[in-house]
């Protein structure tokens, strides 16, 4: 084991449940007077002769987080300063002028990066409807990289990952899955053959709306080395305090996701019966629900200002419930309904969440 892989228990834990792994992976050895948690190590440089040498190349606090996330996804993880830094590093893999296939409704930041790279002639993009598997498979033919998100943010569309990943590989393209929404508890794309998994750690993995961080996970050691090399050069590395907080959050990932998911399923059921709502989108798993207000965008905006518990805020995956009308952002594509409100369901008591929403919705009708 190198200094970058402090995983005395990893072999044991490999056969254990995801909850056990979320709690135990990436901890210091069980040695008298050792702390139970990997400490924050503020260091820009290390004594020469080891694997790290310099603070941009590695840090023990990142390594602990990376061991834990890698163990959950079934690969090797690298931490980044944000989800979008991870996205940029992965997109940097393709050659000049190469084609990237991506969902037409993918996360706006990813869409904006792709648009910017295309506008500057760096690469070409083909945007696809990820629910139309045959069309996506056709688009893969001359691609160098196929970007997938499932469920998509915020349309909550589901992609047939194994089929599309196989088509990407047939074309010799990288298959990348942004697994932010599902988390490794609900979906492990590397097991379906994906080459790279990307996370906005900011969301469910950290889980408390107090950290910006990202990650890339790979199954293949060589690809791990390539991404590590890009990170070393591009320098989009996280702070050690952020890595500490993200790992602290990760310890309860299974509890938070379980609760958020059961709350979301229950709210999706109840919301479906409310006359103020035209459509409820819930893919059947995860903690995100989207609703379309029958009375349009103004009603949607009103709703987000009428609640006491639900916080009007962007982002998602925190312990507290938040919501927003996505089209309030100019970059959000027109394929997202104007009156769509994305709900990030937290881990509160579901009856309190429902009551707060119901009162506000009743007020609209």
Ligand X SMILES: *Cc1c(COP(=O)(O)O)cnc(C)c1O
What positions carry a catalytic annotation? 56, 107, 178, 203
Nearer to ligand X, 153 or 252 (CB): 153
Q: How far is the CB of 145 from ligand X (least distance, A)?
A: 16
Q: Is 322 an interacting residue with respect to ligand X (CB under 6 A)?
A: no
Select the residue interacting with ligand X from 58, 75, 189, 214 (CB under 6 A).
Answer: 214
Close Cβ partners of 260 (under 8 Å, ≥ 6 residues apart): 204, 286, 287, 345, 346, 347
Least distance in angstroms from the C-beta of 28 to ligand X: 27
Applying CB under 6 A, the span of 64-72, 77-85, 130-138, 182-190 interacting with ligand X comes to 77-85
Residue 64, both tokens: 């602990």
Taking the least distance from each CB to ligand X, the nearer of 181 and 285 is 181
**Among 180, 218, 321, 344, which residue sits at the site for ligand X (rule: CB under 6 A)?**
180
First to last CA, the chain: 62
Q: Tell me the window of 173-181, 182-190, 272-280, 295-303 that interacts with ligand X (CB under 6 A).
A: 173-181
Residues 104-143, one symbol each (x = binds ligand X by CB under 6 A, - = not), give ---x-xx---------------------------------
Q: Considering the rule CB under 6 A, would residue 242 count as an interface residue with ligand X?
A: no
* By CB under 6 A, residue 202 contacts ligand X: yes
> What is the signed CA dihedral for 88, 91, 95, 99, rounded to 10 degrees?
-140
Which string of x and - marks every residue 31-70 that binds ligand X (by CB under 6 A)? ----------------------------------------
The percent helix, strand, coil of the chain (3-state, each to 5) is: 40, 15, 45
Q: Looking at 81-89, 223-231, 320-328, 341-349, which segment touches ligand X (CB under 6 A)?
A: 81-89
d(CA 193, CA 111): 24
Element (H or E) spanning 260, and its range?
helix 253-271
Residue nearest to ligand X (CB): 83
Given the complex with ligand X, which of 7 and 149 has the nearer CB atom?
A: 149
Return all residues near 31 (Cβ < 8 A) that are at least 6 apart. Answer: none
Instruction: Give the SS3 label for residue 139.
Output: helix
Q: Is 212 one of the binding residues for ligand X (CB under 6 A)?
A: yes
Number of CB atoms found within 10 A of residue 338's CB: 16
**Using alpha carbons only, how large is the chain's radius of gyration in Å?**
21
- The residue range among 10-18, 43-51, 82-90, 287-295 that interacts with ligand X, by the rule CB under 6 A, is 82-90
Tokens of 140: 């893969």
* Residue of 127, 123, 25 whose CA lies nearest to 73: 25
Total residues at the site for ligand X (CB under 6 A)? 16
Whichever of 38 and 178 has its CB closer to ligand X, that residue is 178
Tokens of 25: 């992976």
Beta-carbon contacts of 350 under 8 Å, excluding residues fewer than 6 positions away, are 262, 263, 266, 267
Q: Phi-psi category of 40—alpha, beta or left, where left has phi over 0 and alpha has psi -120 to 50? A: beta
The overall longest dimension of the chain from CA atoms, in Å, is: 69
Point out which span in 69-77, 175-183, 291-299, 338-346 binds ligand X (CB under 6 A).
Answer: 175-183
* Nearest Cα residue to 77 out of 198, 203, 173: 198
The correct pick among 59, 67, 150, 200 for binding ligand X (CB under 6 A) is 200
Name the minimum Å distance from CB 81 to ligand X. Answer: 8
45 DSSP assignment = B
Which positions lie near ligand X, rule CB under 6 A?
82-84, 107, 109-110, 149, 153, 178, 180-181, 200, 202-203, 212, 214
């Amino acid at each position: 084991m190198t200094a970058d892989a402090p995983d005395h228990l990893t072999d044991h834990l490999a056969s254990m449940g995801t909850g056990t792994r979320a709690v135990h992976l990436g901890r210091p050895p069980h040695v008298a007077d050792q702390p139970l948690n990997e400490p924050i190590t503020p260091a820009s440089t290390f004594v020469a002769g080891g694997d790290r040498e310099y603070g941009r190349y590695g840090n023990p606090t990142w390594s602990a987080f990376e061991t834990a996330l890698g163990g959950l996804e079934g690969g090797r993880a690298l931490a980044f300063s944000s989800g979008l830094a991870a996205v940029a590093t992965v997109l940097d893999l393709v050659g000049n002028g190469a084609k990237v296939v991506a969902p037409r409704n993918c996360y706006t930041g990813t869409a904006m990066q792709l648009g910017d790279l295309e506008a500057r002639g760096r690469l070409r993009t083909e945007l696809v409807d990820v629910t139309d598997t045959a069309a996506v498979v056709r688009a893969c033919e001359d691609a160098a990289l196929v970007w997938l998100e499932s469920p998509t943010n915020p349309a909550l569309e589901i992609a047939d990952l194994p089929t599309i990943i196989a088509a990407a590989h047939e074309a010799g393209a990288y298959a990348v899955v942004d697994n932010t929404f599902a988390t490794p508890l609900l979906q492990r794309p590397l097991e379906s053959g994906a080459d790279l998994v990307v996370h906005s750690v900011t969301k469910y993995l950290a889980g408390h709306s107090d950290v910006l961080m990202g990650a890339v996970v790979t199954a293949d050691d060589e690809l791990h080395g390539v991404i590590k090399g890009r990170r070393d050069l591009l320098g989009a590395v996280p702070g050690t305090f952020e890595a500490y907080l993200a790992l602290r959050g990760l310890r309860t990932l299974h509890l938070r996701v379980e609760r958020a998911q059961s709350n979301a399923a229950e709210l999706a059921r109840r919301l479906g019966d409310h006359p103020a709502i035209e459509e409820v989108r819930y893919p059947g798993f995860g903690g995100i629900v989207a609703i379309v207000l029958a009375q349009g965008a103004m009603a949607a905006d009103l709703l987000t200002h009428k609640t006491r518990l639900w916080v009007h805020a962007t982002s998602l995956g925190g312990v507290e419930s938040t919501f927003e009308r996505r089209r309030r952002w100019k970059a959000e594509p027109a394929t997202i309904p104007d009156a769509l409100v994305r709900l990030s369901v937290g881990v509160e008591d579901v009856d309190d969440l429902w009551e707060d929403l119901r009162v506000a919705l009743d007020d609209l009708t």
